[in-house]
């Protein structure tokens, strides 16, 4: 079977079992089988793909930076003879990962400096990031946390679970907890249920989010049993991570549908990547296809300044051009917020095309998606003047 009958990713194509014809349907649909059979060695890659010299050299060095690991489901999306395949570029090691630009960092968004307890990042006033594991279903080569993820990086992740629960109980300003890592959905149902139950027991935590790539890398994990367990812990939100429309296979669509059917609001976070999604047509197809999966495009991240990621980064100027080409040219629900996660720990900063052309005390001059110019008066309530429409309204309301 040709692994990519839908090169533009506009259809929901199934690739099962693809390069694993010996797998039975029961095996293929077992998420633990998928994990046991991940592609994790040079020999496995060369069995299925024609590697470039850069890919081969990068794979040999994966034990010193970020491990190689690709689920069979996701591996089936990779084109055999095309090193520029947008799926391949995301997960295939490159020798370019050993080249470090002067402004690149091991911890590009300053998480370690905002970690009051091992495994907990408290950077924003009312929300925290809870790093529950260092393992993922597959490993993205642009991973912001490659220093700790996969067990092959510069650091080890030591999460102090009891210390984190004690910290959260004490800090009543925290109302929002994001579970990430690594990927929390690799936990067993029981272990994840226990973790969510502990968080739900802290009264001032209003809702919990899970950041995950599992529905994309490993849709078999999204079982009805998992969904029923998650449903017990509402309000529970989920941010998935999809970069290219080809990732949205029929299996992924159905997995996302199961989550949505159990009341879990879904948002998507993409990373702007060179040769993957840094063009208007790909990004427009992606965001529109996400809506068909009942997923709201949430963020597009400028690629963090992680060590060895220069070959995957594109310019901010290009990102702004793509955002400008989405606004007004597709439904507003499909337009994500473009952000830079400020280097060193400044948090997410929205980056928008220049819609405001002039602004003073009398007017604001703006442009629309067609480039047409409009003026809007800079006015507000006039002090001491009561709007005529409000006269007698309280009498009506409370009579």
Q: What is the pTM of this model?
A: 0.92
The DSSP secondary structure of 175-212, one letter per residue, reads: -EEEEESS-GGGS-HHHHHHHHHHHHTSTT--EEEEEE
Among 38, 141, 145, 284, the active-site one is 145
CA distance linking residue 348 with residue 199, whole number of Å? 25
Residue 21 has pLDDT above 60, yes or no: yes
40-80 pLDDT per residue, tens: 999 999 999 999 999 999 999 887 779 999 999 999 999 99
Instruction: Please indicate whether residue 123 is annotated as part of the active site.
Output: yes
Instruction: Please indicate whether residue 303 is annotated as part of the active site.
Output: no
Residue 390 has pLDDT above 80, yes or no: no
Q: State the span(s) of the chain assigned CATH 3.20.20.70.
A: 112-350
Q: How confident is the model at residue 399 (pLDDT cuts 50, 70, 90)?
A: low
Instruction: Please indicate whether residue 190 is annotated as part of the active site.
Output: no
Contact 87, 247 (CB under 8 A): yes
Among 198, 258, 327, 348, the active-site one is 348
Residue 89 has pLDDT above 70, yes or no: yes
What average pLDDT is seen over the chain?
Answer: 93
CA distance linking residue 331 with residue 292, whole number of Å? 12
212-243 pLDDT per residue, tens: 999 999 999 999 999 999 999 999 999 999 99
278-319 pLDDT per residue, tens: 999 999 999 999 999 999 999 999 999 999 999 999 999 999
Mean pLDDT of 128-156: 93
Instruction: Please indicate whether residue 127 is annotated as part of the active site.
Output: yes
Predicted local distance difference test score (pLDDT) of residue 135 = 97
Among 19, 123, 294, 367, the active-site one is 123
102-120 pLDDT per residue, tens: 999 999 999 999 999 999 9
Contact 39, 88 (CB under 8 A): no
Mean pLDDT of 318-337: 96
Alpha carbon of residue 392 to chain centroid: 51
CATH of the structural domain 112-350, one choice from 1.10.10.10, 3.20.20.70, 2.60.120.590, 3.40.720.10: 3.20.20.70
Closest by CA position to 178, among listed 189, 164, 166, 158: 164
Residue 391 has pLDDT above 60, yes or no: no
Q: At what angle do helices 189-200 and 224-231 cross, to 10 degrees?
A: 10
CA distance linking residue 225 with residue 132, whole number of Å? 21
Residue 367: other Cβ atoms inside 10 A: 14
Instruction: Please indicate whether residue 124 is annotated as part of the active site.
Output: yes
Predicted local distance difference test score (pLDDT) of residue 5 = 66
């Amino acid at each position: 079977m040709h692994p990519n009958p839908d090169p533009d990713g506009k259809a929901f194509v199934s690739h099962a079992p693809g390069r694993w014809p010996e797998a039975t349907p029961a095996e293929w649909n077992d998420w633990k089988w998928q994990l046991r059979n991940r592609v994790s060695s040079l020999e496995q890659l060369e069995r299925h793909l024609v590697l470039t010299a850069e890919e081969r050299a990068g794979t040999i060095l994966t034990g010193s930076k970020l491990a190689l690991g690709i689920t069979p489901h996701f591996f089936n999306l990779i084109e055999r003879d095309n090193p520029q395949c947008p799926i391949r570029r995301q997960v295939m090691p490159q020798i370019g990962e050993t080249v470090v630009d002067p402004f690149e960092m091991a911890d590009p968004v300053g998480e370690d400096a905002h970690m009051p307890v091992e495994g907990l990042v408290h950077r924003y006033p009312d929300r925290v990031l809870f790093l529950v594991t260092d393992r993922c279903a597959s490993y993205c080569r642009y991973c912001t946390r490659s220093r700790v993820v996969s067990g092959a990086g510069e650091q080890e992740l030591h999460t102090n679970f009891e210390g984190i629960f004690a910290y959260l109980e004490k800090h009543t300003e925290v109302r929002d907890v994001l579970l990430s890592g690594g990927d929390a959905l690799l936990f067993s149902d029981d272990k994840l249920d226990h973790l969510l139950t502990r968080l739900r027991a802290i009264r001032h935590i209003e809702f919990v989010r899970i950041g995950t790539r599992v529905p994309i890398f490993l849709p078999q994990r999204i079982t009805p049993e998992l969904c029923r367990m998650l449903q017990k812990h509402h309000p529970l939100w989920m941010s998935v991570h999809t970069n290219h429309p080809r990732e949205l296979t029929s299996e992924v669509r159905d997995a996302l549908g199961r989550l949505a059917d159990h009341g879990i609001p879904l948002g998507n976070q993409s990373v702007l990547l060179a040769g993957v999604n840094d063009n208007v047509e790909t990004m427009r197809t992606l965001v529109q296809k996400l809506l068909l999966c009942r997923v709201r495009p949430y963020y597009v991240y400028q690629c963090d300044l992680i060590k060895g990621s220069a070959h995957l980064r594109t310019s901010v100027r290009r990102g702004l051009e793509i955002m400008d080409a989405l606004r007004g040219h597709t439904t507003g629900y499909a337009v994500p917020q473009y952000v830079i996660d400020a280097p060193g720990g400044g948090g997410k900063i929205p980056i928008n095309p220049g819609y405001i052309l002039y602004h003073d005390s009398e007017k604001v001059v703006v442009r629309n998606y067609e480039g047409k110019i409009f003026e809007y008066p800079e006015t507000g309530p006039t002090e001491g003047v009561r709007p005529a429409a409000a006269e007698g309204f309280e009498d009506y309301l409370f009579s």
